[in-house]
């Protein structure tokens, strides 16, 4: 049996049955969860547990609690809940409340939260992987990454597959300095000789 652990906290806690989907209108879903992404999310929850709290809004009209963020996780967790011989789920999950005056503001919150303001770069991704020594594990968890602006196969070839400069090799270039050079991909600086 796989136990799904809660590895975060929030301002509130709710059972899955206490929260409702807000973003689907007249049977039209704002986001589709493909079978492939369902499996990725399922594996991530199995491996790392519930890492991020839900975000919710309490509708002043009916008093119900609605997801502002977490609908896809709710789908996978409910699927797991239907398999009690395979999965053990916590009774409640953490959630953070957002404040909106009405349904219109809540809908705006969903749309703005779903919009990526920042865009990940290859340099930034590589920098985080290198700094936190995640390069050896990248192959394992990269299948779960959804970064549309980066071709992860090409990224692996260009960044992960190339050997880094070794310290002894760099020390050979300390004499007869002509100019400083910087790798355009990783930002590593070295000095070239005459």
Kindly indicate the confidence band of residue 115, based on its pLDDT and cuts at 50, 70 and 90: low
Is residue 64 pLDDT above 90, yes or no?
yes
Is residue 63 pLDDT above 90, yes or no?
yes
How many domains does the chain fold into? 2
37-59 pLDDT, tens digit each: 899 999 999 999 999 999 999 99
Q: Quote the CA–CA distance of 78 and 76 in Å, as a whole number.
A: 5
103-113 pLDDT, tens digit each: 888 888 887 77
Which two tokens mark 11?
């301002």
pLDDT reported for residue 166:
38
Kindly indicate the confidence band of residue 180, based on its pLDDT and cuts at 50, 70 and 90: low
Least confident of 16-25, 47-56, 72-81: 16-25
Domain co-membership, 38 together with 105: yes
Domain co-membership, 68 together with 32: yes
Domain co-membership, 8 together with 100: yes
Domain co-membership, 23 together with 74: yes
Domain co-membership, 93 together with 151: no
CATH code of residue 10? 3.90.1530.10
Domain co-membership, 35 together with 82: yes
**Percentage of the chain with pLDDT > 90?**
38
72 Cβ neighbours under 8 A, 6+ residues apart: 31, 33, 37, 41
Domain co-membership, 14 together with 108: yes
CB 128 within 8 A of CB 134: yes
- Containing structural domain, residue 164: 122-193
Domain co-membership, 141 together with 70: no
What is Dmax (Cα atoms) for the chain? 76
The residue ranking higher by pLDDT, 93 or 169, is 93
Domain end: 113, 142, 175, which one? 113
Task: Tell me the range of 58-72, 78-92, 119-133 where mean pLDDT is highest.
Answer: 78-92
- What number of other Cβ atoms are within 10 A of residue 64's Cβ? 13
pLDDT reported for residue 162:
64
Residue 103 burial (C-beta neighbours within 10 Å; 0-12, 13-18, 19+): middle
Domain co-membership, 28 together with 107: yes
- How distant, in Å, are the alpha carbons of 2, 3, 174 from that of 88? 6, 5, 59
């Amino acid at each position: 049996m796989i136990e799904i652990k809660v590895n975060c906290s929030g301002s509130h806690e709710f059972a899955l049955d206490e929260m409702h989907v807000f973003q689907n209108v007249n049977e039209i879903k704002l986001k589709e969860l493909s079978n492939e992404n369902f499996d990725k999310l399922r594996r991530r929850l199995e491996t790392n547990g519930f890492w991020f709290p839900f975000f919710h809004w309490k509708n002043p009209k009916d008093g119900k609690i609605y997801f502002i963020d977490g609908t896809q996780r709710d789908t996978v967790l409910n699927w797991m809940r239907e398999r009690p011989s395979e999965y053990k789920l916590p009774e409640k999950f953490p959630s953070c409340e957002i404040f909106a005056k009405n349904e219109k503001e809540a809908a705006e919150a969903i749309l703005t939260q779903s919009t990526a303001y920042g865009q990940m770069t290859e340099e930034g991704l590589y920098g985080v992987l290198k700094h936190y020594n995640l390069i050896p594990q990248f192959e394992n968890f990269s299948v779960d990454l959804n970064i549309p602006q980066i071709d992860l196969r090409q990224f692996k070839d260009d960044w992960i597959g190339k050997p880094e400069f070794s310290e002894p090799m760099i020390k050979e270039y300390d004499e007869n300095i002509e100019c400083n050079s910087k790798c355009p991909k990783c930002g590593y600086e070295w000095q070239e000789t005459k």
